[in-house]
Chain A
Amino acid sequence: MIYSWLNIVGLEKNFGGVKALTNFSCSLREGEILGLIGPNGAGKTTIFNLITGFIYPDEGKVTFRGINLVGLPPHAIATVGIARTFQKLRLIQRLSVLENVLLFFKNQPGQQLPNIFFRWKESARQEAINRDTALSLIESVGLGDKIKELSQNLSYGQQKLLNLACCLASDSDLLLLDEPVSGIAPLMSEKILSIIQKLPMQNKSVILIEHNLDAVMQISDRVIFLDAGVKVSEGTPETIRNDPKVIEAYLD
């Protein structure tokens, strides 16, 4: 609890009688990559949903830069600088790659209805700026030739990449990535991991859920192992890799 940047204290969530998460605490500093591992149903995605306000905790506190996040709706949490991806890929299937990315920009005067008619010049100018930023962003993640393509026509790996690009477009400081490289080819996986790995250089932090242990160990500064809603162990990738409980869970 040394860091005050992101602080999670005593988080609890029950679904009916099922304890999804029990007394979970952790903290994160700027520019850190934290890996969350554990078997299915360990409560990893529940943590994401609790942080981003899609579900409310029964107990516990989440603060981000001193702001209490518990009780805020998801869109408010997104605006304070937390972006997330979903395990079940969520993209606007019938919009182009460019429009998917554009959606996530924070500064969009044209999203306010009156501005479309009364301050349309300003709206159009900002839209043009966002468009340029979006184009170079799409280029930089390597989807440059797919700009006009509908996102439903991308391959699964490209869609995951686009998801990540959307998070980057939101210019959030904390990215919660739910299985960013699961189920995709090694080459694309490397590409996505290298993008994530560079995020701390821009002072962005990442919490990463991933079943691919090698990927997690490769890029995380710190790893938390969860099982059945309880934090079992926490430490550097090295200590976690050699933790008997982790070995038991993953090699059984």
Chain B
Amino acid sequence: MEYFLHILIMISIYVILGLSLNLIVGYTGLISLNHAAFYGIGAYVIALMALNLHTPFLVNVICAVFISGFIGAIIGFPALRIREDYFAVYTFAFQIIIFSVLNNWVSLTGGPIGLSGIPQPSIFTWRISSHLGFAFLSFLFLAPLLWIIYRIVNSPFGRVLKTIREDEVLAEASGKKVNSYKILVLIIGAGTAALAGTIYAYYISFIDPTSFTITESIFIISIVIIGGAGSLWGPIIGAVALVVLPELIRFTGLPSSVSSNIRQILFGGLLVVFIMRRPQGLLGEYFFHDNSLQK
């Protein structure tokens, strides 16, 4: 039972990450490769606050989201000047920087050793210690987020995002201030990624930089692409598929050294197959990075 709850919690965390990245990649068309950095920032902020300041859970969560959103704005402003592939390279670099900071700022982050003993959270009088509690908590975060994303993408605001994805010049010509839309989306994305980080840090109660590498960023973007970029439910399907698939390999009885390699091959293979054969993902409407339709 605990095992299934664990899978459920991991799925929820990746659904949150996928939903938040989908807003950036799927709806606005910005290829961002630094989502794990914000995920990590959320986890580290909350771990440091809980360990050093002993502040209550909800305060920590709010701080983590805002700090991450703020950093999202800082890296977002210079990124407004660049587009498409260059944006991807830029975010890739930022991902590497954040990993290096987490890995090397030993006095603050503990370096490669990480931070351990993160205390169990409590909301008012409810102390969350069981798997069931964490599963419930992650749903508590996931449900409103899903609602918020739903409202955003179905509003005129969301329509402008899709326009930016399809044609930035047209968005400008129709009187939309493209840069402010982009920066808002980057801030929301960074803040909500941190939300996933907070659940992760509290749940595992131990974090180290290896959870927030470029591989993780690519994993999150695979969730979005395989699930269906630009579709509300896409990242949910993607997260379920990509979290459950490697678990299935576990049951094949292969030694763990082999199965972990198979996992990497599987993700890489899936991504290649999807981009070649079904670029819109399982549910997507948006042909990922495909401009051949435009005249």
Contacts and interface: CB of A to CB of B under 8 A. Distances in A.
Q: Do A and B bind each other?
A: yes
Interface of A: 52, 54, 73-75, 78-79, 83-84, 86, 88-95, 99, 102-104, 106, 108, 110-113, 116-117, 120, 123, 127, 152, 166, 170
B170 interface: yes
User: In the complex, which of the residues A75, A106, A166 has the most CB atoms of chain B within 10 Å of its own CB atom?
Assistant: A75
A246 to B, nearest CB: 30
A75 B163 contact: no
5 contacts: A75-B171, A75-B172, A88-B295, A93-B293, A116-B157
Contacts of A117: 148, 151
Interface stretch (B12-20, B31-39, B175-183, B207-215): B175-183
B276 to A, nearest CB: 20
A74 B293 contact: no
Contact of A102 (B159, B173, B184, B295): B159
A94 B164 CA distance: 12
Contact of B175 (A91, A94, A106, A113): A106
Nearest to B147: A117
Interface in B238-292: 285-286
Q: Is the interface of B mostly helix, strand, loop or mixed?
A: helix
B106 interface: no
A208 to B, nearest CB: 17
Contacts of B184: 113
Given A52-B173, A78-B173, A94-B286, A111 B178 contact: no
Contact of B174 (A73, A93, A103, A120): A103
Given A88-B295, A92-B170, A95-B166, A102 B175 contact: no
Contacts of A88: 295
A122 to B, nearest CB: 12
A34 to B, nearest CB: 20
Contact of A95 (B152, B163, B294): B163
Nearest to B184: A113
Interface residues of B, number: 28
Given A54-B173, A123-B156, 4 more contacts: A90-B169, A95-B163, A95-B166, A170-B175
Given A88-B295, A92-B162, A110-B157, A116 B174 contact: no
B159 A103 contact: yes
Contacts of B160: 103, 111
Contacts of A166: 174
User: In the complex, which of the residues B169, B176, B286 has the most CB atoms of chain A within 10 Å of its own CB atom?
Assistant: B176
A103 B158 CA distance: 10
B156 A110 contact: yes
B178 A75 contact: yes
Contact of A111 (B157, B169, B285, B295): B157
A84 B173 contact: yes
A229 B22 CA distance: 46
Given A95-B162, A110-B157, A116-B151, A79 B169 contact: no
Contact of B157 (A75, A79, A84, A112): A112
Given A95-B163, A113-B184, A90 B156 contact: no
A78 B173 CA distance: 6
Contacts of B295: 88-89
B170 A102 contact: no
Nearest to A156: B295
Contact of B172 (A74, A89, A93, A103): A74
Contacts of A127: 156
A123 B155 contact: yes
B172 A78 contact: yes
B84 interface: no
B169 A75 contact: no
B159 A75 contact: no
A103 B163 contact: yes
Contacts of A112: 157
Contact of A94 (B152, B156, B176, B285): B285
